[in-house]
Amino acid sequence: MRDQLILLPGWGLGTVPLQPLAEALRGLDPHLHVAIEPLPQLDSSAPADWLDELDARLPQDAWLGGWSLGGMLAAELAARRGERCRGLLTLASNLRFVADPSWPSAMPDETFAGFRQGCAANTAATVKRFALLCAQGAADARGLSRQLLAAAPPSQPATLLAGLDVLAALDTRVALQAVVGPQLHLFGDADALVPAAVVQALLAELKNVEVGLIEHASHAFVLERPAAIAAAIQRFLRGAGHD
């Protein structure tokens, strides 16, 4: 649908953190149908399996977007769908979450490996640590992390570990080059998980996309600053021809 936006959440914290953003978008544009769709609940670590599930479940011809891991999956799905996707928006989504020599603006591999090991040993403690990392850099980091953690669904270790493996495996550089519709990519300049240097790296990779850096914003800016993010998204949609 030309007037439908699908938002996918990030890892481990469920759909609730996106609800204020969805409400803000609906308030700005009553004709825009915003739906937050949960990530697949799969034990598979293969990104293709996650994308197959999303492709079968999500409506065609909609705008696709997402936060963090959700944005990376939205990018891959947008590329897969081609003309059957109106356009793409990502929120605090790196092109690669785990660094390699060709993409250093990401989390060091050893840091990610330690995080995954912690998740395997104590899932609940790792989700709590993740909420703190998401909130780091916010004006009220402690309050924001409490909000994130309070909304998190019950821990499902196998699914969470599979999600981390998918996050580590994804590299959306090829997908973003293949997306047919317009693109918006927003980042936070105080994000503890996705370095602000990604902005320049992304602009070096892609032409004719819109990129924004939100000042004094954490990784969880979707919950921290929903009105500002909604306004940026609405400007993008209007400029891209959304009626």
What is the average pLDDT across 18-33? 96
Q: In this predicted model, which residue has the larger pLDDT, 207 or 225?
A: 225
For position 151, what pLDDT does the model report? 87
Q: Which residues pair with 183 in a beta bridge?
A: 88
Lookup: tokens for 119: 């998740």
Look up the pTM and report it.
Answer: 0.96
pLDDT tens for each residue of 5-25: 999 999 999 999 999 999 999
Calpha distance 164→149 (Å, rounded): 18
Give the HSE-up count for residue 167: Cα atoms under 13 Å, Cβ half-sphere.
29
pLDDT range class, residue 1, cuts 50, 70, 90? very low
Do residues 62 and 77 touch, judged by C-beta distance below 8 A?
A: no
As a whole number, the mean pLDDT across the chain is 95
Question: How far apart are the C-alpha atoms of 186 and 93, rounded to whole Å?
Answer: 8
| φ and ψ of 5, to 5 deg | -120, 125
Active-site annotation, residues: 68, 191, 219
Report residue 2's pLDDT band, with 50, 70 and 90 as the boundaries. Answer: low
**Mean pLDDT on 178-201:** 96
What the block records as the tokens of 143 is: 């309050």
Identify the domain containing residue 176 by its residue range.
4-239
pLDDT of residue 242: 56
Residue 146 pLDDT more than 50?
yes
Nearest to 115 by CA among 98, 103, 101: 98
pLDDT in tens, 37-63: 999 999 999 999 999 999 999 999 999
The CATH number for 74's domain is 3.40.50.1820
Q: How confident is the model at residue 144 (pLDDT cuts 50, 70, 90)?
A: very high
Give the chain's domain count: 1
List the Cα angle 19/22/24 in 5-degree steps: 110
Strand order in the sheet with 87-91: 33-36, 4-8, 63-67, 87-91, 183-188, 210-214
23, with CB counted inside 10 A (0-12, 13-18, 19+), is: middle
Cα gap 169→61, rounded to integer Å: 27
Kindly state the average pLDDT of the residues 72-101: 97
Distance separating the N- and C-terminal Cα atoms of the chain: 12
